[in-house]
């Protein structure tokens, strides 16, 4: 008898538990489907002088657990409507409507982080259970990270900072060392053959060294197999290779077309100056030229430059004879920096092996 009652109790509890799980799952599916749940949280939105675009973005994506109810703009001349929502310009009116409507959240869109501006809202609702969230507009900052970080016990938002934290830098560095060592050991006979070919192609050294910027702008000497006849450039000027360039040797033309001239850069990787994957470093003279012509150009050097990169496997190689070409390259480099992951590196390496060695634009 006791065993039967115990089994019945288990059965009833199981039915109740299953119903609760099913209800929770259905509620979650409803939210994923874009339908606002019945208990969506009403929100008041305070806008700053230049946050119209941010407000439009919020209202366009206002689905799920939040429901915008009114807009406050202290700079508005009169009350009205914004996208069908009531617009008020008095802080007292905002407080009254929030309390009367049972609004439990206030979003400050695009507000400058000035203490007096934000403090007005904090004081107004200091006796109310209203969640106040600051939402600065960081969309125009290429390297901005919306999450707060702790700096000496104080919250901070990274507007411009290296995106790779120490916690992810060392695994990338470990992979770089292992991969570079494996490649150099595997292709050592090929390196010797190329060195002999370069040596007999024309008088001059086997390796070509040129200064490039590394992480955080620290300069280093990059290694390449020499592909040109020895010549002297004007001080402060580097002439890019062009189609039919007379300076390029016959051996050098093959090496540049197949990217084999870049193989010595695996030694740069072992020395910690470069990574296997990253934005390609340009000549220092070109950096000085393009940094004022292309927005966010120097952000490319917030991480180590690479032998191959996201821009290169997407066809952005060779001469940058127009600013638009460099701007496109920078755009792809910033995408890589903003979306870096170990698996993205593996994908880029795989695509380089598949299609990245030979490029029509490389000469």
Write down the pLDDT at residue 111: 61
Write down the pLDDT at residue 52: 77
Residue 220 binned pLDDT confidence (cut-offs 50, 70, 90): very high
Alpha-carbon span 173 to 178, nearest angstrom: 9
pLDDT in tens, 89-106: 888 999 999 999 889 889
Instruction: Name the more confident of 77 and 221.
Output: 221
Work out the percent of the chain whose per-residue pLDDT is above 90: 33
Q: Is residue 274 part of a domain?
A: yes
Please determine, for residue 119, whether its predicted confidence score (pLDDT) is greater than 50. Answer: yes
Identify the sign of the CA torsion 166, 329, 268, 301. Answer: negative
Residue in the structure block whose two tokens are 């960081």 = 138
Please determine, for residue 109, whether its predicted confidence score (pLDDT) is greater than 60. Answer: yes
Write down the pLDDT at residue 115: 52
Please determine, for residue 159, whether its predicted confidence score (pLDDT) is greater than 80. Answer: no
Taking only Cα atoms into account, the Rg of the chain, rounded to an integer number of angstroms, comes to 30
Q: Is residue 90 part of a domain?
A: yes
Please indicate, yes or no, whether residues 128 and 175 belong to a single structural domain of this protein. Answer: no
Please indicate, yes or no, whether residues 124 and 171 belong to a single structural domain of this protein. Answer: no
* Average pLDDT value for the chain: 80
The CATH number linked to 127 is 3.40.50.720
> Which of 68-82, 202-216, 233-247 is predicted least confidently?
233-247
Write down the pLDDT at residue 25: 47
Strand order in the sheet with 41-47: 80-82, 85-88, 66-72, 41-47, 105-109, 131-135
Write down the pLDDT at residue 335: 92
Alpha-carbon span 205 to 195, nearest angstrom: 10
Q: Is residue 179 part of a domain?
A: yes
Please indicate, yes or no, whether residues 52 and 193 belong to a single structural domain of this protein. Answer: no
Write down the pLDDT at residue 33: 43
List Cβ neighbours of 17 (8 Å cut-off, separation of 6 or more).
Answer: none
Please indicate, yes or no, whether residues 124 and 271 belong to a single structural domain of this protein. Answer: no
> Which of 52-56, 265-269, 281-285, 330-334 is predicted least confidently?
52-56
List Cβ neighbours of 105 (8 Å cut-off, separation of 6 or more).
Answer: 41, 42, 43, 44, 66, 130, 131, 132, 133
Over residues 58-70, the mean pLDDT reads: 78
Over residues 14-35, the mean pLDDT reads: 46
Please indicate, yes or no, whether residues 133 and 170 belong to a single structural domain of this protein. Answer: no
List Cβ neighbours of 249 (8 Å cut-off, separation of 6 or more).
Answer: 201, 202, 227, 228, 229
Please indicate, yes or no, whether residues 133 and 176 belong to a single structural domain of this protein. Answer: no
3 state SS of 361? coil
- Number of domains present in the structure of the chain: 2
Entry pTM: 0.68
Residue 243 binned pLDDT confidence (cut-offs 50, 70, 90): low
Write down the pLDDT at residue 21: 43
Full residue range of the structural domain in which residue 66 is found? 41-137
Helices (H), the chain: 2-32, 52-60, 91-101, 115-124, 166-186, 188-201, 250-258, 265-270, 284-290, 310-313, 323-338, 342-351
Domain edge (last residue) among 89, 116, 137: 137
Write down the pLDDT at residue 99: 92
Please indicate, yes or no, whether residues 194 and 123 belong to a single structural domain of this protein. Answer: no
Instruction: Name the more confident of 65 and 114.
Output: 65
Write down the pLDDT at residue 135: 81
Please indicate, yes or no, whether residues 311 and 219 belong to a single structural domain of this protein. Answer: yes
Please indicate, yes or no, whether residues 127 and 179 belong to a single structural domain of this protein. Answer: no
Please indicate, yes or no, whether residues 193 and 293 belong to a single structural domain of this protein. Answer: yes
Q: Residue 338's beta-bridge partner residues?
A: none
Please determine, for residue 329, whether its predicted confidence score (pLDDT) is greater than 90. Answer: yes
Residue 355 binned pLDDT confidence (cut-offs 50, 70, 90): confident
Please indicate, yes or no, whether residues 295 and 246 belong to a single structural domain of this protein. Answer: yes
Over residues 206-235, the mean pLDDT reads: 86
- Strands 80-82 vs 85-88: parallel, antiparallel or unpaired: antiparallel
Over residues 343-350, the mean pLDDT reads: 94
Write down the pLDDT at residue 283: 87
Q: Is residue 97 part of a domain?
A: yes
Please indicate, yes or no, whether residues 120 and 249 belong to a single structural domain of this protein. Answer: no
Q: Is residue 68 part of a domain?
A: yes
Q: Is residue 114 part of a domain?
A: yes
pLDDT in tens, 255-288: 988 889 999 999 999 999 999 999 999 988 889 8
Write down the pLDDT at residue 20: 47
Domain edge (last residue) among 96, 121, 137: 137
Q: Is residue 272 part of a domain?
A: yes
Q: Is residue 154 part of a domain?
A: no
Instruction: Name the more confident of 325 and 22.
Output: 325
Write down the pLDDT at residue 240: 65
């Amino acid at each position: 008898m006791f065993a039967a009652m115990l089994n019945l109790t288990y059965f009833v509890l199981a039915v109740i538990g299953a119903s609760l799980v099913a209800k929770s799952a259905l509620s979650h599916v409803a939210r994923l489907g874009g339908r606002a749940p019945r208990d969506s949280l009403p929100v008041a939105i305070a806008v700053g002088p230049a946050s119209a675009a941010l407000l439009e973005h919020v209202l366009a994506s206002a689905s799920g657990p939040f429901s915008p109810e009114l807009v406050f703009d202290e700079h508005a001349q009169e009350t009205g409507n914004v996208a069908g929502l009531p617009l008020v310009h008095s802080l007292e009116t905002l407080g009254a409507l929030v309390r009367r409507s049972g609004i439990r959240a206030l979003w400050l869109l695009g507000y400058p982080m000035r203490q007096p501006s934000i403090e007005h809202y904090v004081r107004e609702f200091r006796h109310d259970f209203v969640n106040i969230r600051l939402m600065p507009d960081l969309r125009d900052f290429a390297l901005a990270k919306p999450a707060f970080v702790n700096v000496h016990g104080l919250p901070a938002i990274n507007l411009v900072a290296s995106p790779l934290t120490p916690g992810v830098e060392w695994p990338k560095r470990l992979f770089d060392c292992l991969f570079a060592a494996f490649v150099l050991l595997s292709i050592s006979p090929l390196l010797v053959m190329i060195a002999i070919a370069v040596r007999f192609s024309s008088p001059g050294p086997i390796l070509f060294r040129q200064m490039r910027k590394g992480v955080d702008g620290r300069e280093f000497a990059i290694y390449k197999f020499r592909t040109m006849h020895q010549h002297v450039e004007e001080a402060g000027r580097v002439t890019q290779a062009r189609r039919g360039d007379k300076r390029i040797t016959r051996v050098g033309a093959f090496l540049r077309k197949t990217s084999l001239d870049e193989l010595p850069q695996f030694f740069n990787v072992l020395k910690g100056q470069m990574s296997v994957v990253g934005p390609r470093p340009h000549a220092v003279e070109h950096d000085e030229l393009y940094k004022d012509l292309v927005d966010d150009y120097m952000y490319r050097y917030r991480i180590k430059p690479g032998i191959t990169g996201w821009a290169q496997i997407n066809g952005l190689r060779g001469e940058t004879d127009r600013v638009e070409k460099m701007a496109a390259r920078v755009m792809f480099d910033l995408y890589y920096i903003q979306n870096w992951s170990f698996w993205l590196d593996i994908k880029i390496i795989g695509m380089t092996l598949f299609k990245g060695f030979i490029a029509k634009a490389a000469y």
